Structure formats: C-alpha cells, structure tokens
Amino acid sequence: MNEEERARKLSDAIDTMLQGKELELELDDDDLIEILRIAQLRRRAGQALADAAPAHQELLWRELQARMVARKMENGTETEPHPRKRTPP
C-alpha cells in the first residue's frame, strides 16, 4: 500500500469515528490498525468523561454551597438564601 492509499484509509477511518460509527478495521497495515485502535480508545474515554461531567458539576456545586453555609455559620452571619438567587439545577 502506498502512502497515498494509507492516508486515504486513515482519513476515511477518522471520518467514520467522528460520525460516531464503529470502525470495521479491514486494514492490512499494522501501524494504521494500532493508530486507529488508540484513537478509538481515546474517543471512548473522552465520551465517558463528557457523559460524567454534569453529575460531577452538580456534586461540586453542592459542595460549594455547603462550604458557603458552613463559613457563614462560623462567622455568625447565617441568613436565609435570597429568594432570587440561583439554585443548582
């Protein structure tokens, strides 16, 4: 396989991955196969992190609110939250 064919196959495989489709690795080039396997793993890992982000954001928001309330209580300035202040979703 010449360099132009390798480049085309790699480009096609990357396009397929970016469309969210699973690759059907029908390549005879071990280097390309390994590059695409690594790319697939990285894409899946990135997607898993993106999927977990909203839950993590919610957890951080609650932790921040708890710390703010604790600090107000330590300073003796505990008050009810303002009715128009944003609450986490």
Domain ranges of the chain: 3-75
Q: CA-CA distance, 35 to 76, in Å (whole number)?
A: 59
Structure tokens at 74: 């330590």
pTM: 0.54
The phi-psi region of residue 4 (left if phi > 0; otherwise alpha if psi is between -120 and 50; otherwise beta) is: alpha
User: Which tens digit of pLDDT belongs to each residue from 13-69?
Assistant: 888 888 878 777 667 778 888 888 888 888 889 999 999 999 999 999 999 999 999
